[in-house]
Amino acid sequence: MDGEGNKKPWDASQLRKYDLTFDEIPRLHYKDPKIDEYIRANKPVVIIESNIIKPALQRWTLEYLEKNLGQTGHTCFVSKNHQFKYYDDKKIYDKTNNTKGVEFTPPTKKVEMRIEDFMKRVKEWKKGDDRIYLQQSLTTSVGNNIVEDFVKFDWDYVNGKQAKHNWGPLTSNLLFIAMEGNQTPCHYDEQENFFAQVQGYKRCILFPPSQFECLYPYPVHHPHDRQSMVDFEHPDNAKFPKFKDAKGCEAIVGPGDVLYIPIYWWHHIESLMRGGPTTTVNFWYKGGPSTLEYPLKDHQKVAISRNVEKMLLEVLQDPKEVGPLLSAMVLGRYTE
């Protein structure tokens, strides 16, 4: 309860259990000038009561999406469990053409599915079945109705924020349709994100870029680059001792809420465990031009570390040599 007697449309039994506690991300009316202070400071905030995706809010039911999303295949992921951990195909070692990369068995299967087949599987899903998650970029291949809704988004508002905060261009709008209980494990993206909730409720747990050491990202060359190696539900405390010190914040977003996820911020996102499928559309923007003003921002240090890792791999060629060289450089020389 928030103390004002407003009953929330979800309760704690719909949330997965973690050993961490989280601060709450503030919720501000879309006209509140404080929103710009948060964005300027690279801090997350939930923008409420905006018209950013108004036509979608009014119209994008699962039935409507099924009719109008278009007849081409849509990108879906299939998982044996509730986790849908992202991986980069391009970083997988392929014996057949001898490309460089890491030997790796993808935890989910990427498939192209017709929207009717996706919806049918969601409706008929029962415990024990594989789970599915649609993650499709909104492009011109979607039907006309969706395009019409899309052009009626409040572009003045989002373009205004983009201009005011000097972001780069909008790169894509990804549509997410998840089954209840689906989870996108903790990762960061190299883009600014307005994460607009259309239907259902999602819990979003965020950590600032300064929590790098507590969240143990995979090496940059690994297919799980940008993902945390820690399984939040079963953290391996021996391997990842600092995870318990991770300090994050959370928001449960529902229809009409737009969460600002700052560039390089870690996010762990899950659809509540009951309450039906959830729909989100995000707005990904390139970051603004990076100026080397000191002190550097935490996310700039993350970008620097990424570049050092990439450079080492480029010259060493073999991913297996990167770790040993880094240890030889650091251990005993930069450590006590």
Would you tell me which residues interact with ligand OGA (CB under 6 A)?
A: 176, 184, 189, 193, 195, 267, 269, 280, 282
CA 271 to chain centre: 12
The pair of three-digit structure tokens given for residue 132, joined into one six-digit string: 């599915």
CB neighbourhood size of 94 (10 A): 12
Report the residue number, 66 or 189, with the smaller CB distance to Fe ion: 189
Residue 53's binding partner out of ligand OGA, Fe ion, none, with CB under 5 to 8 Å set by partner kind: none
**Residue 176 or 201: which CB sits closer to ligand OGA?**
176
DSSP H or E run through 299: helix 298-316
The option from ligand OGA, Fe ion, none interacting with 280 (CB < 5 to 8 A, set by class) reads ligand OGA
Which segments of 22-113 does DSSP mark as H helices, in order? 34-40, 54-59, 62-68
From Fe ion, ligand OGA, none, which one binds at residue 91 (CB under 5 to 8 Å depending on kind)? none
Q: Which is nearer to Fe ion, 299 or 312 (CB)?
A: 299
Question: Angle formed by the axes of helices 298-316 and 322-330, to 10°?
Answer: 120
On the 0-12 / 13-18 / 19+ scale of CB atoms within 10 A, 242 is: middle
Which residues sit opposite 280 in a β-bridge? Answer: 176, 197
Q: How far is the CB of 86 from ligand OGA (least distance, A)?
A: 8
Q: Output the CA angle 39-2-28, nearest 5 degrees.
A: 20
Q: What minimum distance in Å lies between the beta carbon of 116 and Fe ion?
A: 27
Tokens describing residue 111:
């498939």
CB of 266 to Fe ion, least distance (A): 9
Which residue is it, tokens 């620097």? 304
- For residue 154, the partner it binds in ligand OGA, Fe ion, none, with Cβ less than 5 to 8 A by kind, is none
Beta-bridge partner residues of 136: 175
Q: Which is nearer to Fe ion, 189 or 298 (CB)?
A: 189
Taking the C-alpha atoms of residue 189 and residue 265, their distance in angstroms, rounded to an integer, is 7
The window from 167-175, 185-193, 208-216, 294-302 that contacts Fe ion (CB under 5 A) reads 185-193
Q: Does 88 bind Fe ion (CB under 5 A)?
A: no
Pick the stretch among 33-41, 152-160, 183-191, 244-252 that binds Fe ion (CB under 5 A): 183-191
For ligand OGA, give the closer residue by CB, 101 or 185. Answer: 185
From the list Fe ion, ligand OGA, none, which binds 298 (C-beta under 5 to 8 Å, kind-based)? Answer: none
- Contact range with Fe ion by CB under 5 A, out of 52-60, 156-164, 188-196, 297-305: 188-196
Token code pair at residue 118: 């996706």
Residue 189 binds Fe ion (CB under 5 A)? yes
Q: Which C-beta is closer to ligand OGA: that of 79 or that of 300? A: 79
Tell me how far the alpha carbon of residue 40 is from its chain's centroid.
Answer: 20
> DSSP E strands: which ranges in 89-210?
108-113, 131-137, 170-172, 174-178, 183-188, 192-199, 202-207
d(CA 220, CA 151): 37
- Min. distance of Cβ 3 from ligand OGA in angstroms? 29
What does 227 bind: Fe ion, ligand OGA, none (CB cut-off 5 to 8 Å by kind)? none
Out of Fe ion, ligand OGA, none, which partner does residue 173 contact, by CB within 5 to 8 A per kind? none
Q: Which residues contribute to the site for Fe ion (CB under 5 A)?
A: 189
